Amino acid sequence: MFGAFVEHMGRCVYGGIFEPDGAFSDSDGFRTDVLALVAEMGVTIVRYPGGNFLSGYDWKDGVGPPADRPTRLDLAWHSLETNEFGVDEFMKWCSAAGIEPMMAANLGTGTLRDALELLDYANTDAPSEWADHRAKNGSPRPYAVKVWCLGNEMDGPWQLGHKPAQEYGRLAGDVARGMRMLDPSVELVVCGSSQRQMPSFAAWENAVLEETYELVDHISMHAYYEIEGTDLQSFLASSTDLDGYIGDVCAVADSVKARKRSDKVMYLSLDEWNVWYLSRLQARPKSPEWERAPRLSEDDYTVADAVVLGNLLISILRRSDRIKMACIAQLVNTIAAIRAEPGRPAFRQTTFWPFSLTARYAVGQALVTRVVSPAVSTGKYGEVDSLDAIATLDEATGNVALFLVNRSAADAVDVTVDLRGFGPLEVIEHVMLSDPDPMRANTAADPAAVAPLDRPGWSSTGSVVTVNVTGISWNMIRLRPAD
C-alpha cells in the first residue's frame, strides 16, 4: 500500500536520492537527509527504473565500472542519461533505506532475452554468466527481487515500442512464462491502461488479460489528478474518479476470469498515483539541449493537493481487498512529497504528511466504513459526499485509526463518529491538515509553512466521538481501548 516510485526522470535519481559529493551524501553518494525522510514517510517498496524512461533503457548500460558506462540520450524525458546510477546502486540504496525493490523489465525496445538476462543478473544463485557479472560488480548474493513489472504504459502512443493490446499481451505472456521458468517465486505485474481516460481503456485490459490471465498476478493502474482551470471543488473530489476506476478494472478482470472459468483472482497494482500538474510540464517550452537531470515537474504542493492525496489513500485502503500494491509517483523532487535542493537539507512537501501518517497508523485491517454526510456539488462528478473516510483496526493493540477528509471547498462539518462495535475507546489524538489559504505550500524558503496541527476540540462519550472538521481538510483521529 505504501510503495513509491523512483524513475530516471528529472532530479528524482540524480540530485534526489543520489548526489555524489553532495553536502548531505554518504560515501555511496546517497543523500542521507533524503534517506531519513524516506524512512519517516514509511515507504515499503520502490518501483524502478521507470516509467516512460524504462522503454528506452538498456539495464546493461548501468552496471560495471562507472567509468566504463556509456552516456545515452533518454528519449522519454529528452535528457542525458550518464548511467552513474544503475541496478546495483539501486539495490544498495534499497538496502540502506530498508526498502523492498520492485523492478521493471523493458518491453518497449527490450526483448524477452533482455528481461531474462536482467532477472538472471538480479536473482540467480546458480553459476551463470550474469550471476558472475553481478558478483564481479560487488554483489555475490542475489538480490531476490520478488515483484516485476512487464513493461510500462504500453497502451500509450508516447511509449517507445507501444503496441496494440493483443501484441503486447502475447509478448508479456511470453516474458512471464520465461521469467517463471528462471525464477518461479516472482510476482508479475502486467500493464493495464496508462489512465482511465484512454480511448482504449477497458478494451485494453480485456485483451491483455485474455493473453496473460493465468501467467501474471497483478494488472497495473496509473492515476494522476490536477486542478483543471479554477475548478477546485471538482479537484477536491478526485477520488471519486479513482473509486470508479478501481471498480471498472475489477469488473473487466472478473469478466475475463468468468470467461476462462478461472479460480484465480487478479489483483491490482496501482503502481503510479499522485497529484501531478502534467499540464504545466506539457506547457513548458521544450529545451533544445540534452541536459543531465533537468528540473521536471517539481511542483510546490498545496494544502488542497495534500487533502486530495489523503483522500486517494482512503480510496486505496478501502479497496485493499483487490489493490495489493500501490506506489506514489514519484519519491523525490519529480512529482514528489520530498524536495531536495543542492546544499540544503531536504524538506517535506504538504503531501508528505497524509502519506506518512497514514503509512504509520493505518495498521491492521481496513474496515468497511459507512459515511453519511452533506453533499457538495461538483462540475465534474455531480453531487458527492463532502466527507470521505476509512477506519483501520490494529487487532494486536485494539487501536482504531480514522482517516477523514472534508472535501467541501466552503463548509466545516460537525462529525459524529460512531464506533460502538468496539466498546469504550479513548481518543489519543485528532490531527488536522488545513489552512485558511488552501493554496499554501512548503517551499525551500519556508519548508515548514504547512504541517498537521493537533486539534484539541473533540469530545467523546463511550465510543462516540464528535469532532469539527474544517472545509478542505485531511484528518486523523486515533483511539485506543479505554482502561
Cell 470467461 belongs to: 259
CA gap 135, 109 in Å, rounded: 27
| 335 or 400: CB nearest ligand AHR | 335
Q: Which residue is nearest to ligand AHR (CB)?
A: 51
3-state secondary structure the chain: CCEEECCCCCCCCECCCECCCCCCECCCCEEHHHHHHHHHHCCCEEEECCCHHHHHCCHHHHCCCHHHCCCEEECCCCEEECCCCCHHHHHHHHHHHCCEEEEEECCCCCCHHHHHHHHHHHHCCCCCHHHHHHHHCCCCCCCCCCEEEECCCCCCCCCCCCCCHHHHHHHHHHHHHHHHHHCCCCEEEECCCCCCCCCCCCHHHHHHHHHHCCCCCEEEEEEEECCCCCCHHHHHCCHHHHHHHHHHHHHHHHHHHHHCCCCCCCEEEEEEEEECCHHHHHHCCCCCCCEECCCCCCCCCEHHHHHHHHHHHHHHHHCCCCEEEEEEECCECCCCCEECCCCCCCEECCCHHHHHHHHHHCCCEEECCCCCCCEEEECCCEEEECEEEEEEEECCCCEEEEEEEECCCCCCEEEEEECHHHCCEEEEEEEEECCCCCCCECCCCCCCCCCCEECCCCEEECCEEEEEECCCEEEEEEEEECC
Catalytic residue among 153, 205, 211, 298: 153
* 19 is known as an active-site residue: no
Give the footprint of ligand AHR on this chain (CB under 6 A). Answer: 7, 9, 50-52, 152-153, 194, 222, 272, 329-330, 335
Residue 153 a catalytic site member = yes
Let me know how long the chain is: 483
CB of 120 to ligand AHR, least distance (A): 25
Rounded CA separation 203/232 (Å): 31
Q: Which three cell numbers stand for residue 141?
A: 548474493
The residues assigned a catalytic role are 153, 272
